[in-house]
Every structure is written in C-alpha cells, then in structure tokens.
Amino acid sequence: MISMGFDRYGLDKRQPIVGFIVLILTIVWAITLNQKAGSLPMALVAGLMIGYTLTRSRYGFAGGVKRIFYRGEGSLTIALLVMLATTALINFGIQWFAASNGAIPAWEITSAKQALIPGTQNVRIGNISVIIGAFLFGMGMIMAGGCASGTLSDFGEGEGHAWIAFPFFVLFAAPGQYFGYILDNTTIGKIGVNVWLPQYIGYWGALLLTIAILFVLYLITKYYENKKKAAGAWLSPKSDWADYENPIPLDEKHHFKWWSWTTYHKLFIERWSFLTGGIGITLVASFIMITTNKAWGVTTPFVTLDQKIFQLFGMQFHSPAFDETAKAMSGPLLMDGGTIRNIGIVLGALIAFLMAGRFKANLKMTWADFSGYAFGGAFMGLGSRMARGCNIGALYSSITNFSLHGYIFMFFLVLGAAFAIKLFQGKLDLCPMYMPKKVLKEDITYE
C-alpha cells in the first residue's frame, strides 16, 4: 500500500530505508558524542530539528525577499516576522528571569563567577562593518540560492548550488573575520549605534517596541502584496507545491490507519506551512538558548573550519580578530558544539528528503551558474563574518535579543538582495527574468 503511493508520485520507495539507516547511525554518533561531552548530542539534536524543519516547510530567509518579489505574495515573509515576534517573547522571559537573579550583560562580565544574561553576546555596534557585511551577504544569498542555514539544509537535500556555495562560504569566512576586525578598529568603524533596548527602555519597553516594529513590517508586506494583487502579479502561496506535497484528504477512501500511505504521507511527505516552519524554528532556537546560554548562530564554526584548513598549509592566526574562535581551535573540530549543530542541519535535511523518497543530487549547471554560486558563497562568507553574523546571528538572534544593530543588518541585507535580483535576473539560473503570471514554478528556487 505504501509502496504504491511512492510509485504513484514517482518517488523512490527505497530511499526511506536509507533514511532510517542514516537516522540510526546518527543516534549511535550522538551516544558516542555523549561520552565526550554531554552538550554535544544536544547540539546534534538541535541541528537535526533545524534541518528537518527547514526542509519539510521549504523555509528560508532568502525566500523571504525573493519569493515576494517574484510571486507577489508574502506568506514566507509574514512567517519570518511571526517567528521573530514569538522568539522575542520567549527571549524576553529568559533574559528577564536571568537579570532578576543577578545576571549581567555579556560586555560587563569581568569574572568567570559572574552569570551573564543569555543572548547578550549578540549585541554589538551597528557600524560600517555591519552595513557592508549585510549588503554583501544579501547579494550572496540570492546568487547562491540560500542563506547560511539554507545552504546547509540545501546541501543535505542534494542541491548542487549549495555544494558549490558552501566551500566558498567557508573559504572566505576567516578573511571576513579579519577584515571586519580591522574595519571595526578604524576611525570610521568606531562610529555607529550600539544599543541594547532593555538598558534604555526596560524589558517590557524592549518587547513592545520590537513587536511594534515587526507589526509595521507586516503592514508594509501586506501593502506590497495587495499592490501586486491589484497589478495582477500575485500567485497563490500553494501554487508552487508539488502534487505529492499537498495534504491527502481523510474521507471514506482515505481514513486513518497506522500502516497506510495516508499516514506515512502525513508524517514524512506532506509539506508543512511556512507558519509551521517558523514556529518550529522558534522552538529550536529557544531550546538552543536554554541549553547553551547562547543564541543560535551558524557562521562562527565556518571560521574555525577555515582556520583548520589554512593551518594544514602552515598558516597561523595570531590576530585578536580570531579570539572568538580560540576555544574551538584548541581542540578537535568535532568537539565544537556549533560545528556539530551545523552537521546536524545537513543530516536533518538529508533524512527529511530520504524519508520522502525525493533525494536527488542536482549537479546540472552552466559555468555562469557555477560562478554565481561560488561568488555568492564567497560574498556570504565575507559578509557574515564582517558583520559578526549572518541572517541568523546578526539578524534573527540579534533582533530577538533586542539589539538595535539587527535592524541595520536586516535593512542592508534586503537592499543587497534586491540589488542582486535586479543585477542578475535573466543571467543566473536562480535569478530568472521577472515575468508576472508567466513564471514557471519549477524555474525558481525560493528557499
């Protein structure tokens, strides 16, 4: 019965077996990691949940910009705003509780005995490094077809653009870290806004202001969406769903059974909504905050990996720019929780596609596309580390921990993304020409 469902939609019914084997091996690895450090399997579990959620819901930050431009509908953009609001609400409680018990912001810590307020590690100055870094990252995520977390999940899904972008992302992460440090310490680099909202308007004020800003962005999104509808340039949010991703109605022919195609489809194949994906990411990000005392980040482990690679060729890193990765560099790469979590994202996406029988290595590309993916990865590597964070660390985890620089990063990221769309449309596979109501759904990658 289940195999017939796979055949009906052209899905590979052998892949779930492989997916189950990968899951078992991952569990064995988690047990092994637990013998080394109890925090490592927690990082792996968090990564698995992120990767699985991103893939099941086709969720991504790059799509929040690209999708509304090409399709005129803001379902993903609105889901991202809801995710920011719900995460900010949870972080409000975490930070308030910590502060009420004597914890202090990260920049005031002078002794290992002092407790810090979780998430305040993501508060920094919004300066020229953040502006340039955000713009470069915004360009890169459009050219490469995904943001930092999206590149990892796409890598696990077998997307060729991610397989090309990822090594260039890593290769340029350490240079970006260094250039950002140098620029931060110039005269112009010291000019900027360094505001942690609770210090100025209290926790309640910070939360209410954050929600108000996000609500204004929601209104802007709806205004733009309605404008597109009026111009006849709007497409239904579900019009790009593959047939096998749509829910199977439960009626007299498809009633619930534990061992049936309907049940298997519901559990492993049916696409989750963007809103479901956003809530899922909120829960995992909160899990990370609670278990590590830090907000979720993606790209710092890329710097560590880059340094490890460069060290093989005799390069040494003595600049204070790399103090942030000194602890991770002092031990094996697979003892770093951030690295383990990123591997988990790849595995979570891989398991999701294998269980759905839809994994397929997509390596077909032109030289122009190859160059776009490579340069996109390089721009993301440079930009994320100049800004000391990507769309996760410098935007999501900064805004939801009430750092004003997160909004600066958001603005210039969107500006860079829009610039790349305009510059490369019709020239790269991931940036087709804008043709309202004529764009084929299979021509565009939104995640």
The confidence score (pLDDT) of residue 447 equals 47
- Token pair, residue 406, equals 């997160």
pTM, two decimals, is 0.93
Cα-based distances in Å from 112 to 106, 108, 233, 329, 379? 11, 11, 57, 20, 36
DSSP state of 71: H
The confidence score (pLDDT) of residue 154 equals 95
Q: Each residue of 184-238: pLDDT tens digit?
A: 999 999 999 999 999 999 999 999 999 999 999 999 999 999 999 988 888 888 9
The confidence score (pLDDT) of residue 338 equals 95
Burial class (CB in 10 A: 0-12, 13-18, 19+), 201: middle
Residues lower than pLDDT 70 in the chain: 250-257, 435-447
Instruction: Report residue 289: phi and psi, to 5°.
Output: -60, -45
Query: What does the alpha-carbon distance between residue 412 and residue 366 come to, in Å, rounded to a whole number?
Result: 30
Mention every residue, 6+ apart, whose C-beta is less than 8 A from residue 380. 136, 137, 140, 141, 144, 147, 148, 151, 165, 169, 172, 390
